[in-house]
Amino acid sequence: MAFQIILNFVLAFVWMFLSSNYTATGFIIGFILGIILLIIMRRFFTTRLYVYRIWAIIKLTILFFKELVLANVQVLRVVLKPKLDMQPAFFAYPTVLTQEWEITLLSSLITLTPGTVVVHVSDDAKTLYVHAIDISDVDEAITAIRDSFEKAILEVSKS
């Protein structure tokens, strides 16, 4: 991935020098042309194009902000109810993530979402223990995390 980024910058600078356009616009045009060339030459690379990973990171960021807003609304509903009928619970979340940064990112995303906290990661890093402030169905919560955060992290880390 780093090689592709460097190659893209080199192609952008080569375009600037060939077109004698030493402005930001010339660089941007060269950068876009470099991306197009990388897409054309993608079969020569062993990993996927870095543009796809950047797009996956953008989608993960948007997903996090969406979940953050929805969780804040849900916690606000719980707090503003006249009758507190919360169902707090601890549950074990089995993860398929293997790298430390993936597990750390998943734990951080779960913890930064209001109403949930990762309290422990198992020694083999295969299970996260999560506390939720108001949860009616544990299986539904596990499926929601798997289909949102974990799936997006896997897409970012995919080679």
Reported as a single tens digit per residue, the pLDDT across 87-112 is 889 999 999 999 999 999 999 999 98
134: nearest Cα among 81, 96, 95, 97: 81
The neighbour count for residue 125, using CB atoms within 10 Å, is 15
pLDDT confidence of residue 159: 62
**Residue 134, SS3?**
coil
| Ranges of H-type helices in 41-129 | 50-80, 100-112
pLDDT in tens, 57-69: 999 999 999 988 9
Question: Which pLDDT does position 107 carry in this prediction?
Answer: 94
pLDDT mean over 13-36: 92
Q: How far apart are CA 34 and CA 55, in angstroms?
A: 17
Phi then psi for residue 145, to 5 deg, are -65, -45
pLDDT for 85: 79
